[in-house]
Amino acid sequence: MPEPIEFHTVDALGAGAVGQPGQRAFYLQARTEAAQLTVLLEKEQVALLAAEAIAFLDRIQEQYPEDPIAIPAALAELREPTVPLFRARLIGLGFDPERELVLIELRERADEDDADDDGEDDDELELDDEEREVVRALRAVDDEEEGYVARIYATRPQVRAMAARGAVVVSAGRPPCDLCGGPMDPAGHRCPRWN
């Protein structure tokens, strides 16, 4: 199991995409003077993280007042190289009130990954005792490989800038069809509503 990656403070926190609309890869990136961490995300994860981060910061604003410092969203862009260390399956938000930093935790594996895809138990499968032991041994090895965990601590202005940049990047994709809401390609769109 890899050691958790900890960025206790970051110089920059960014969100962005690389590629043409319809074929883009989305990333979250944390940078310090000495290191850079890039994590691959889904488009929906970037959109949700942007929305949830702003809602989370607004909720804690009353209890932990925020300085009115603003960082332009342009400073939350990705920096080359954009080679991801892992794909995030689970993203969490938290707040450290002593240091007044927001925690973004990214996990390569979600807890439900350990469950069977079909929901069957070993005893429900038609396996003999030897096959059942092989399946259990493989699952035990798989359980030990928890994947990467990254914890990024950033200031609230950095998180707000990342969220703003993420929202811009997500909205810069293919325009939605007026009839079905699906993404329209530059070459055309086969709308199911026309059938």
Q: For 74-130, what is each residue's pLDDT tens digit?
A: 888 999 989 999 999 999 999 999 999 999 999 998 655 444 444 444 444 455 565
CA distance 139 to 128: 17
Number of domains observed in the structure of the chain: 2
CA distance 12 to 58: 21
Q: How far is CA 144 from CA 2, 9, 135, 139, 150, in A?
A: 10, 29, 15, 9, 17
pTM > 0.85: yes or no: no
State whether 141 and 154 are in the same domain. Answer: no
pLDDT beyond 90 at 141: no
Which residues form the domain of 47? 5-109+148-176
Measured CA to CA, the distance from residue 167 to residue 73 in angstroms comes to 10
What is the pLDDT averaged over residues 32-44? 94
Is residue 180 within 8 A of residue 35, CB to CB? The reply is no
Is the domain of 72 the same as that of 123?
Answer: no
CATH number at residue 50: 3.30.2450
